Chains A and B, each alone.
Chain A
């Protein structure tokens, strides 16, 4: 596709439920990033995939968060036992050259 695609665009869930967020990067982009953005704040790095290398998970805030990526394609971010503090916009980006990142429109997660 032309850009990074994320789904769903909005997700409302109840506290304690699991959610899965999806990211389709730009074709040919080997690097993929997940960020979290709370209301009115900057981006918080979560996880980074580069080709077939082991992902950099250093930004994941707790063991309730996990992400997978198959090869250089789709990635899913899973949040287990969601908490209200998980409410945020989750942004995915893929990279081409010089670490210029191309962002999806994000998934707005609301945990009630």
Chain B
């Protein structure tokens, strides 16, 4: 079953705008990760935030984590057409190094 739920399910923006995606989860976690998927194929790891961290940056990516609300957000600044992809959050709980993936947000960045 999917623990994470992404919001929105789909997002369409213009190049240069910022894109924000949200993820909610249900149980306690060790860390939360964001992955990107192009064209329904393999996922690529973007960023990991640990349960004791509140914010993390990597290039144009900014991730926040609020464990009290069991939610995370992924912000992509100054988006580019090449950012068009599906983005998934994945939670790493206490169940033997499993990752539980959400349903994803499909992002389209129009040039």
Chain A positions within 8 Å of B, measured between CB atoms, are 4, 31, 33, 35, 37, 39, 41-45, 48, 50, 56, 89, 91, 93, 95, 98-106, 108
Known A42-B104, A43-B88, A98-B31: A91·B96 in contact at CB below 8 Å: no
The bracket for how many chain B residues form the interface is 20 to 34
Taking beta carbons and an 8 Å cutoff, which residues of B are in contact with A? 2, 4, 30-31, 33, 35, 40-45, 48, 88, 92, 96-104
Q: In the complex, what's the smallest C-beta–C-beta distance from A88 to chain B, in angstroms?
A: 10
Given A48-B96, A48-B97, A95-B97, A42 and B43 touching (CB < 8 A)?
Answer: no
Q: Verify B102–A42 contact, CB threshold 8 A.
A: yes
Q: How far is the CB of A37 from chain B (nearest CB, A)?
A: 7
Q: Knowing A42-B104, A43-B88, A45-B100 are in contact, say whether A101-B45 is a contact too (CB < 8 A).
A: yes
- A41 proximity list for chain B (CB < 8 A): 103-104
Q: How far is the CB of B41 from chain A (nearest CB, A)?
A: 5
Cβ–Cβ contact A103 & B88, under 8 A: no
Contacts of B96 in A (CB 8 A): 48, 50, 56
**Option from A31, A35, A39 in Cβ contact (under 8 Å) with B97:** A31
Report how far A4 CA is from B41 CA in the complex, Å.
12
